[in-house]
């Protein structure tokens, strides 16, 4: 019996859509956080949630503190999310030279928010 493997990443696309719709339909960051926690994530999909929070943030015309508060909320909830946001910081820092001005401002303000609230440690392992 052969196992069929789906390489279309349909599950990932559906997860990202669900996260996006949940964030956009929430009135405040606490509501978004509680709704997002109800989504059944498989092992390792916490990073995808963190990536989507940042991507939603960068799609706004100007920075909204909603996203920084949401990231802070997740960092307080679990060490796993804190580590995911820390890894995301390292990833984005390494490619910051590729961002357009608006995305650069959003990413910088987002991480400044979660660093200033002590959600992330001020020491990040930049060199692996």
pLDDT tens by residue, 63-114: 999 999 999 999 999 999 999 999 999 999 999 999 999 999 999 999 999 9
Contacts of 85 (CB under 8 A, 6+ apart): 50, 71, 74, 75, 114, 119, 120
Contacts of 124 (CB under 8 A, 6+ apart): 86, 89, 90, 93
pLDDT tens by residue, 11-56: 889 999 999 999 999 999 999 999 999 998 888 899 999 999 999 9
Extract the tokens encoding 53: 């929070």
Per the CB < 8 A criterion, the answer to whether 36 and 16 are in contact is no
Note the maximum CA span of the chain: 55
- The span from the CA of 128 to the CA of 126, in Å, is 6
The whole model's pTM is what?
0.88
């Amino acid at each position: 019996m052969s196992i069929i493997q789906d390489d279309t990443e349909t599950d990932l696309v559906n997860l990202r859509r669900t996260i996006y719709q949940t964030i956009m339909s929430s009135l405040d960051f606490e509501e978004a956080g509680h709704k997002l926690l109800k989504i059944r994530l498989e092992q390792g999909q916490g990073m995808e949630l963190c990536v989507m929070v940042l991507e939603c943030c960068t799609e706004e015309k100007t920075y909204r503190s909603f996203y920084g508060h949401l990231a802070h909320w997740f960092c307080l909830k679990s060490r796993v999310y804190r580590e995911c946001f820390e890894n995301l910081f390292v990833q984005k820092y390494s490619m910051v030279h590729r961002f357009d001005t608006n995305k650069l401002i959003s990413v910088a303000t987002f991480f400044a928010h979660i660093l200033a609230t002590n959600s992330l440690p001020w020491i990040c392992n930049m060199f692996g």
